[in-house]
Structure 1
Amino acid sequence: MPTPIAGRSTSVRAAIAIAVLAGMALLVGLVWLMTEEGPTPPEAATMVLSETDFGQLDGWEADDHAQALAAMRQSCKILKRVPADRALRGDPQLGMTAGDLHPVCDLAEKTADQDAKTFFENAFIPFHVRNGSENTGLMTGYYEPEMKGSRTKSEAYPASVLARPDNLVMVELGDFRDSLRGQRIAGHVENGRLRPFADRTQIVEGALDEEGLELIWLPSAIDAFFLEIQGSGRVVLQDGPDAGQVIRLSYAGQNGHPYTAIGRPLIDRGHIPREEMSMAAIRTWLENNPDEAQEVMNLNASFVFFTELVVEHPELGPPGAQSALLTPHRSIAVDRKHHALGLPFWFELPSASAASPDGPIRRLMMAQDTGGAIRGPVRADYFAGVGEQAGDIAGQMQDRGSLTMLLPHAVAERARKITW
């Protein structure tokens, strides 16, 4: 995992690391997040698995399995550190533990790239995923933006990105009640009780100004807002002794207030026609209407905090919820209520899309991330990579596709005994 270098206390850096390892995810699902349309509500989602074989996976023979194997090795770096008896999240009926994946990780490390296809065929059994009777679900995209920034505030860089406050407490409710799996709250402790944290409007108006939380300064509040949407970004420092250095700002926490999409009020107010709604359209409107932009952004009470990480592998993305570095076009975010991170998935979009304008996407991906908008068993967010081109791809992805989960043999045996 990249090394945190922000100048915070050791205890805070530890808390941030724990938050990342606990799977506090990137905020993803671009167009859906902006319009609040798409996935089946979690309470209506029922995962159904049906065994298939690799010969039934359209496009399997043509895929570059070595790329998927490289992405899997990133997951295995994390999984090998987890005790074998540690339960993994996902459908509790499967009862997956880290030990279920340790043997395939051992084999993955020894497998030559030219043998990657044979490795996956021998180590896993494919199971098609349905949501009840639905074979397809919403597939969206996300990316890691790259922008200019500074370590000091100036007229050119007036908008701050904040580190996680010392008193922010984030709680995974599923750690306390199985019925609350996948739900989180956050706040601060006051007189022994967890109370709501400051919302976006309060933070923008100065609620945290005396805390010294500023990590980096960006050209505009709109840049900072879109950084929060992605949950991670690269910043090219423009001045001072570090000029030219590329750093990564990675998700470190959230204030606990629910996410409110700003796309819908922009449609309702007549600012953007519904058929033209996109990330680019929202950003253009905000930039062209500076007097109203902050009020619209404040409609989203959610606020994200960051930590600074070293960019050790520029070809890879940020650490996802699993803490594995994301691989462009080979990593997806899934719903951890249904799926364990570190599993391979056969990902299919049956028609041309932003990520593949010449035809369908059919490729082996690794589940390495999750997110607030990723809900349901047939629901994934496709990591498109870094920078403007990746953003163009991610911002346009909103298609229905299918998922096939690859299970290690021991887990597959358990799956066969379940009445789905």
Structure 2
Amino acid sequence: MDTPAALDFLKFDDIADWRRDDHRAAFDAFRRSAFRHLEKPYKTGAFGISADDLGTAFAAARDGVDDARGFFERHFRPARIVAEGFVTGFYEPVVEASPARTERFRYPILSRPAELVDIDDENRPVGWDAGIAFGRQTAGGIVPFFDRGEIERGALDGRGLEIAWLADKVDLFFIHVQGAARLVMTDGSERRVTYAAKSGHSFSGPGKILADLGEIPLKDVTMQSIRAWFAANPGRIDEILWQNRSYIFFKDAPVPDPALGPIAAAKVPLTAGRSLAVDRRLHTFATPFFVEAPEMDFARLMIAQDTGSAIVGPARGDIFCGSGDAAGEVAGVIKHAANFIMLVPEPRE
């Protein structure tokens, strides 16, 4: 099988921290994906692991097990991905929001517009890059959707797309980056939203833009340093953010268990410290990975349950760190080299 990177098969005893990990926490996350599989199987990534390959492990997980480590050792073979690895972190922001626009709450979280259409090989306009996944349906055909600057200047005003309103434009932007949020409404109720679609334009991170402008040294770019720069330069926020033409639309996604994270791309609630965002083109959701990042003293079994436009490559991952400001403080500074050991399903009997 041709794969995006070579695989070096190991024994579990070759993994230094394997026995010291909390396999039960990883198993619980995997089990949520096992039940999701009953509704709709996950698409197969370029590494070739299919939902059918995971079927035996899914069935066993749904039945429940007493020995979580033994479960993974029975159903999988570890294989180190021979590629330079790197991890970052993400989290679920918790922000105050209003159901209506007020003098204080002026920045909307928008739902998906009706004319925003998915692009595939069947309807892709001639000359469009294969990576463009969304466009705008018009009477004359599909054209590029409005970009961030156009939307924030009013291109979608008056359409009734507003889910809620925030008080801070920078908070809204980082909700776009994270792809989900927990909204504490002004009446005391709580609402959770997650990614629904995007404008189709490529993402340009403000950290790279600010580094290129000489405003923040690239080595010092973190979510915290970006926020600090915006706070010190409020008159330049639009100048920087509008260079990122990508715009994210959201939908309500309630989660019954408040201890769990938002529902993400794999359609299950994320688990702090156990859910991993991966390159969806290469990896199949629910695949377990043992991630080793020595610089951050991190060695943990994680489950592929999300993705993101910045997560590109066979050994690239984004660690879900939880919800709220404390989780954001952790996630915002994770930028570390890492080894990725993929757990490959044993052949079905």
Q: TM-score range by the shorter chain?
A: over 0.9
Matched, 1:88 2:48: no
Could you tell me which of 314, 325, 329 is aligned with 2:269? 325
Matched, 1:142 2:100: no
Q: Which residue of 1 aligns with 2:165?
A: 217
> How far did residue 171 of structure 1 move?
2.2
Matched, 1:72 2:30: yes
Which amino acid counterpart does residue 180 of structure 2 have in structure 1? S
> How far did residue 70 of structure 1 move?
0.3
Q: Which residue of 2 aligns with 1:298?
A: 242
Could you tell me which of 139, 154, 157 is aligned with 2:105? 157
Q: Which residue of 2 aligns with 1:109?
A: 62
Q: Which residue of 2 aligns with 1:381?
A: 318
Which amino acid counterpart does residue 330 of structure 2 have in structure 1? I
Could you tell me which of 118, 121, 124 is aligned with 1:170? 118
Which amino acid counterpart does residue 88 of structure 1 have in structure 2? K
Q: Which residue of 2 aligns with 1:3?
A: none
> How far did residue 174 of structure 1 move?
10
- The 1:278/1:103 distance shift into structure 2, 3 A limit, reads same
Could you tell me which of 128, 136, 143 is aligned with 2:80? 128
The SS at the match of 2:133 is: strand
Superposed CA deviations along residues 62-106 of structure 1, whole A, max 9, x for unmatched, are 1111111100011111112236xxx732126x3x43222222111
Rounded to whole Å, the distance in 1 between the matches of 2:130 and 2:309 is 9
The SS at the match of 1:80 is: helix
- The 1:118/1:273 distance shift into structure 2, 3 A limit, reads closer
Could you tell me which of 357, 361, 370 is aligned with 2:298? 361
> How far did residue 182 of structure 1 move?
8.4
Kept in 2: contact 1:80–1:102 (CA 8 A): no
> How far did residue 385 of structure 1 move?
0.7
| Count, aligned residues | 344
- The 1:369/1:385 distance shift into structure 2, 3 A limit, reads same
Kept in 1: contact 2:98–2:165 (CA 8 A): yes
The SS at the match of 2:347 is: helix
* Aligned 1:19-418 pairs, distance under 5 A: 46-82=4-40, 88-91=43-46, 94=48, 96-112=49-65, 114-131=66-83, 136-173=84-121, 183-238=131-186, 243-351=187-295, 353=296, 360-410=297-347
Rounded to whole Å, the distance in 2 between the matches of 1:107 and 1:406 is 16
The SS at the match of 1:327 is: coil
**Unmatched runs of 5 consecutive residues or more in structure 1:** 1-44, 354-359, 414-420
TM (normalized to structure 2)? 0.92
Rounded to whole Å, the distance in 2 between the matches of 1:402 and 1:275 is 21
- The 1:267/1:221 distance shift into structure 2, 3 A limit, reads same
Kept in 2: contact 1:252–1:305 (CA 8 A): yes
- The 1:265/1:118 distance shift into structure 2, 3 A limit, reads closer
Kept in 2: contact 1:173–1:181 (CA 8 A): no
Kept in 1: contact 2:253–2:263 (CA 8 A): no
Rounded to whole Å, the distance in 2 between the matches of 1:129 and 1:175 is 35
Kept in 1: contact 2:77–2:345 (CA 8 A): yes
> How far did residue 148 of structure 1 move?
0.6
Kept in 1: contact 2:194–2:264 (CA 8 A): no
- The 1:233/1:174 distance shift into structure 2, 3 A limit, reads farther
Kept in 1: contact 2:255–2:263 (CA 8 A): no
The SS at the match of 2:151 is: helix
Rounded to whole Å, the distance in 2 between the matches of 1:233 and 1:300 is 20
- The 1:182/1:106 distance shift into structure 2, 3 A limit, reads farther
Kept in 1: contact 2:276–2:306 (CA 8 A): yes
Which amino acid counterpart does residue 151 of structure 2 have in structure 1? I
The SS at the match of 1:341 is: coil
> How far did residue 181 of structure 1 move?
12
Which amino acid counterpart does residue 20 of structure 2 have in structure 1? A
The SS at the match of 2:332 is: helix
Kept in 1: contact 2:147–2:199 (CA 8 A): yes
The structure that is helix-richer by fraction is: 1
Please tell me the root mean square deviation across aligned C-alpha atoms, in Å. Answer: 2.3
Rounded to whole Å, the distance in 2 between the matches of 1:55 and 1:182 is 42
> How far did residue 269 of structure 1 move?
3.3
- The 1:182/1:47 distance shift into structure 2, 3 A limit, reads farther
Which amino acid counterpart does residue 305 of structure 1 have in structure 2? F
> How far did residue 297 of structure 1 move?
1.1
Rounded to whole Å, the distance in 2 between the matches of 1:174 and 1:320 is 26
Kept in 2: contact 1:322–1:341 (CA 8 A): yes
Kept in 1: contact 2:134–2:145 (CA 8 A): yes
Rounded to whole Å, the distance in 2 between the matches of 1:319 and 1:184 is 24
